[in-house]
């Protein structure tokens, strides 16, 4: 089957056969695809536009542009390249409103290259003031086609039949997905236009306006890897108790052992690995102070490290540290890729505590997790795109096989290996019920550590996006913060500041219970009367009698609470403290799919609200978008990536 394209003024024949997509023909699903007629060449439509004199647009700091105003993005291939080797033009159609009424150009950072889009009738722009911002770009058209074909192959292999729509962290809708629609879009007539005297043809896309792109992989191969074949692999991990019976109690220096990951963080301190880990554990032996708040000591930490006296590093046995790997987490969804910037996502290693007396996973009141959260080295669109493709490539490999393990190690080595690991670590988080003492009951406590720029040690730091627990319930200061920042909270673009109203605000640590959730006595009169345009509802079901003012109050409360460290792990998501169970390694309902009644208002049947979560699918959808969308057009109009770039979530 052939598709006829124009390229540099010549007819270029691109052979696209069903076999290229890896589509089988053995069932009705595949037969629907194979019956699509792609034999006809793409038709062209001539559009007569008078050439204009090209006036260059200076590369300046153009006004900020709200990407949510974008309504369409089209990319056209130039039949002849410009003298500056530009081979395409991208057109961004925006909805004119008060936010952008005075903007006639904006600067985009397209894969690290500053590019000015203008609506002034200059360079690539055809007509001034028509709401279409235009720029010449350089793109790899062949790569983009390969990326889209790779997606179609994955979607066919996974028999993907639905697209999940998310608002922030919440699942709000499920739509049908059919591969036939993707094939049909590439057969639509393609326009030939004149761009100020340069002929161009619209680049066909299998995806077109398909938003969002559905996740096509196995969650447990690509997003949250908790299978013992991987996380208890004897050549990569270490568990002094060999909990899973894989024989991974031999080498404490394996690449993914707790000891090795800690050792690789020890850069420039002048300390031994033993002294470095000892210094970290000492943080529980004394009171600490961060941002004016005291982190109380938990000297029961000594119960879990037999022989360690809490004072002398030489007494700490670092070859038998009581931790086993629970999961490797792909958090590329935290990458922020927009027209203005690109910031990296994360790779995380989650460890669970072992009971030294029984040499089994610590359970009940003795549980704890430790999470190494590394910032990915991929930090511009094309490298983030490649990283997403590397993660998705794991889906075709067998868990625990040499091919799978080596591919995963190649991804993680970028951040876990010395000497770069210390610089790559964004934070190390702990969530413990244990360090009050073995067998003793105390509250769960969240702490966050970062590499100190001076000493190189792991030191306590603030828990991001989360005020001190003293503000959690019924606090008037918290109410004022929610009221003053309601629009940003509703759009999940708020940042919790270090201080508020002249006083320390951001927490140093957090004690919490499974029933915890953030609430405050907000006054509806001080909140928006209607939802802002940037808001997308997290509500999946609501009582018909609940007035709009109460829905707004609930959304402000919920969207603040669900983005805090503590209550993302508690009643707001109906989670029992951890999203990765320290005993079973199972993921929480928040991760795998759950419907939850609002903790304050109750379910719709009682006059309240319900929300749904399926966070692994949400994360996977973002990874797919990053893997497939073009850095020179597609990312500009992707609602999924626009929303992901807007949300300030760190969890």
DSSP letters spanning 405-431: HHHHHHHHHHHHSTTTHHHHEEEEEEE
- Comparing 152 with 458, the larger pLDDT belongs to 458
Is 520 in contact with 569 (CB distance < 8 Å)? Answer: no
Is 241 in contact with 325 (CB distance < 8 Å)? Answer: no
* Contacting residues for 311 by C-beta, under 8 A, at least 6 apart: none
pLDDT in tens, 248-259: 999 999 999 999
Q: What six digits make up the tokens of 30?
A: 């595949």
| pLDDT given for residue 637 in this prediction | 65
- Comparing 563 with 28, the larger pLDDT belongs to 563
Q: How confident is the model at residue 215 (pLDDT cuts 50, 70, 90)?
A: very high
pLDDT in tens, 266-314: 999 999 999 999 999 999 999 999 999 999 999 999 999 999 999 999 9
pLDDT at 19 exceeding the cut of 50: no
pLDDT in tens, 433-489: 999 999 888 889 999 999 999 999 999 999 999 999 999 999 999 999 999 999 999
| pLDDT given for residue 531 in this prediction | 93
pLDDT in tens, 79-128: 999 988 999 999 988 888 887 888 999 888 888 788 899 999 999 999 99
Is 93 in contact with 70 (CB distance < 8 Å)? Answer: yes
Distance of CA 617 to the CA centre of its chain: 11
Q: What six digits make up the tokens of 497?
A: 């500041």
What value does the mean pLDDT of the chain take? 86
pLDDT at 223 exceeding the cut of 80: yes
pLDDT at 22 exceeding the cut of 80: no
Q: How confident is the model at residue 199 (pLDDT cuts 50, 70, 90)?
A: very high
| Dist CA 237 CA 235 (whole Å) | 6
| pLDDT given for residue 25 in this prediction | 36
Q: What six digits make up the tokens of 370?
A: 């430790």
φ and ψ of 481, to 5 deg: -60, -45
* Contacting residues for 431 by C-beta, under 8 A, at least 6 apart: 368, 369, 371, 444, 445, 446, 569, 577, 578
| pLDDT given for residue 121 in this prediction | 95
For 409, counting Cβ atoms within 10 Å of its Cβ (0-12 exposed, 13-18 middle, 19+ buried), the class is middle
**Closest by alpha carbon to 355, among 290, 434, 468, 292?**
434
pTM for this model (two decimals): 0.88
| Dist CA 573 CA 168 (whole Å) | 14
Q: What six digits make up the tokens of 565?
A: 């460290």
| pLDDT given for residue 161 in this prediction | 83
| pLDDT given for residue 435 in this prediction | 94
| pLDDT given for residue 124 in this prediction | 95
| Dist CA 147 CA 481 (whole Å) | 44
Work out the average pLDDT over 569-587. Answer: 93
């Amino acid at each position: 089957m052939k598709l006829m394209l124009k390229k540099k003024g010549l007819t270029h024949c691109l052979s696209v056969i069903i076999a290229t997509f890896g589509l089988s023909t053995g069932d009705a699903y595949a037969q629907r695809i194979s019956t699509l007629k792609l034999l006809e060449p793409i038709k062209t439509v001539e559009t007569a536009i008078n050439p204009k004199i090209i006036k260059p647009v200076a590369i300046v700091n153009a006004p900020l542009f709200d990407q949510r105003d974008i309504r369409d993005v089209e990319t056209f291939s130039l039949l002849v390249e410009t003298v500056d080797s530009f081979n395409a033009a991208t057109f961004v159609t925006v909805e004119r409103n008060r936010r952008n009424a005075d903007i006639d150009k904006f600067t985009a950072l397209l894969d690290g290259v500053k590019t000015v889009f203008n609506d002034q009738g200059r360079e690539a722009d055809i007509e001034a003031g028509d709401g279409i911002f235009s720029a010449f770009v350089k793109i790899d058209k062949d790569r983009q086609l390969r990326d889209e074909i790779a997606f179609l192959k994955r979607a066919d292999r996974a028999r993907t039949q639905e697209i999940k729509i998310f608002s922030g962290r919440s699942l709000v809708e499920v739509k049908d997905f059919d591969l036939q629609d993707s094939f049909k879009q590439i057969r639509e007539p393609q326009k030939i236009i004149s761009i100020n005297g340069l002929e161009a043809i619209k680049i066909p896309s299998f995806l077109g306006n398909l938003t969002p792109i559905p996740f096509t992989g196995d969650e447990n191969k690509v997003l949250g890897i908790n299978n013992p074949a991987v996380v208890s692999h004897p050549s990569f991990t270490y568990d002094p108790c060999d909990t899973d019976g894989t024989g991974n109690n031999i080498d404490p220096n394996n690449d993914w052992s707790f000891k090795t990951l800690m050792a690789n963080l020890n850069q420039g301190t002048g300390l031994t690995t033993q002294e470095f880990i000892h210094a970290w554990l000492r943080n529980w032996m004394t009171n600490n102070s961060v941002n004016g708040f005291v982190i109380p000591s938990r000297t029961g930490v000594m119960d879990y490290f037999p022989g360690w006296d809490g004072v002398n590093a030489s007494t700490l046995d670092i070859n038998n540290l009581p931790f086993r790997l629970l999961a490797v987490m792909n958090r590329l969804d935290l990458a922020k890729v927009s027209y203005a910037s690109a910031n990296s996502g994360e790779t995380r290693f989650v460890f669970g505590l072992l009971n030294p007396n029984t040499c089994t996973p610590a359970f009940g009141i003795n549980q704890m997790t430790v999470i190494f959260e590394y910032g990915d080295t991929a930090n511009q669109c094309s490298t983030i795109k490649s990283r997403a493709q590397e993660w998705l490539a794991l889906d075709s490999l067998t868990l625990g096989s040499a091919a799978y393990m080596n591919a995963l190690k190649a991804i993680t080595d970028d951040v876990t290996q010395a000497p770069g690991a210390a610089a790559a670590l964004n934070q190390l988080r702990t969530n413990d019920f244990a360090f009050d003492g073995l067998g003793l009951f105390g509250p769960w406590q969240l702490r966050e550590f970062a590499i100190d720029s001076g000493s190189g040690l792991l030191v306590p730091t603030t828990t991001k996006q989360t005020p001190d627990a003293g503000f959690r319930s019924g606090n008037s200061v918290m109410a004022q913060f929610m009221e003053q920042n309601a629009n940003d909270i509703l759009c999940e673009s708020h940042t919790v500041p270090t201080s508020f109203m002249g006083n320390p605000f951001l927490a140093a640590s957090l004690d919490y219970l499974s029933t915890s959730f953030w609430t405050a006595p907000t006054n509806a009169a001080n909140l928006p009367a209607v939802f802002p345009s940037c808001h997308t509802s997290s509500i999946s079901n609501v009582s018909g009698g609940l007035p709009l003012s109460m829905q707004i109050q609930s959304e402000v409360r919920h969207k603040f609470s669900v983005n805090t460290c503590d209550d993302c792990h508690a009643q707001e998501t109906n989670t029992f403290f951890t999203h990765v169970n320290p005993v079973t390694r199972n993921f929480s309902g928040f991760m795998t799919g759950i419907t939850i009644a609002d903790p304050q208002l109750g379910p719709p049947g009682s006059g309240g609200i319900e929300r749904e979560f399926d966070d692994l699918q949400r994360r996977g959808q973002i990874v797919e978008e990053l893997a497939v969308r073009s850095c020179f057009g597609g990312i500009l109009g992707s609602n999924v990536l626009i929303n992901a770039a807007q949300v300030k979530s760190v969890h």
